[in-house]
Amino acid sequence: MIDKKTTGFTRRGVLAAFAATAVSAAPTYSKAAGFIRNGGSVRRFRMYSDRTGERIDMVYWINGDYLADAIREISLFMRDWRNGQAVAIDTRAIDIMAASHRLLEVDEPYMLLSGYRSPETNAMLRSTSNGVARNSLHLRGQAADLRLNSRSVAQIARAAAACQGGGVGSYSGSNFVHMDCGDVRVWGR
């Protein structure tokens, strides 16, 4: 359910509200990797984009099954905002984002700074910054750069790293955390 603003009830919105009440308390960081594997009976994805003005809040996984429509909507939401191109976002990356968000025990949705990047966008960013990888996992829909106003970069990175599902980069100077479903590694401060 991608909306520029909240416009009342939808079937997915009601399902998301129901699921939110069914979700148990967040696990401790020491059990985070197991949390991704087991994930409870529902998994929820909450995010917004200042660049597009869009918000997304939906259950994308129920009792062991990914919801195809929800994954398509998440993939569209996480598109390259510069040119509108989209790819299927890797469900492993979605799981890491959702699990780390639950570990942080916040109601605030993540702010998406960068999800999928087209080759053209990645090349443009590489030409203006030295922190952009030539073969970035953003190009494959396997990474996102995220921010929360209510949590520090260190707190977000610690939660994401506890999931042990991929790479976590801390960019304190720019106030965001990179999360991906590639090799498990941590960088930045």
First to last CA, the chain: 34
Q: Where in the chain are the domains?
A: 2-188
> What is the pLDDT at residue 133?
85
Q: Which residues pair with 147 in a beta bridge?
A: 111
- Helix boundaries (H) for 30-182: 32-38, 68-77, 91-103, 119-128, 153-162
- Show the low-confidence residues of the chain (pLDDT under 50): 3-11, 13-33, 35
Element (H, E) at 172: none
Structural domain 2-188, CATH architecture: 2-Layer Sandwich (3.30)
**Strand, coil or helix: 187:** strand
Beta carbons of 44 and 23 less than 8 angstroms apart: yes
The whole-number pLDDT of residue 37 equals 56
Record the pTM. Answer: 0.79
pLDDT in tens, 113-143: 999 999 999 999 999 987 788 889 999 999 9
Distance CA 79, CA 183 (A): 23
* pLDDT of amino acid 8: 41
pLDDT the model gives residue 123:
93
Q: Which residues contact 49 (CB under 8 A, 6 or more apart)?
A: 55, 77, 81, 111, 112
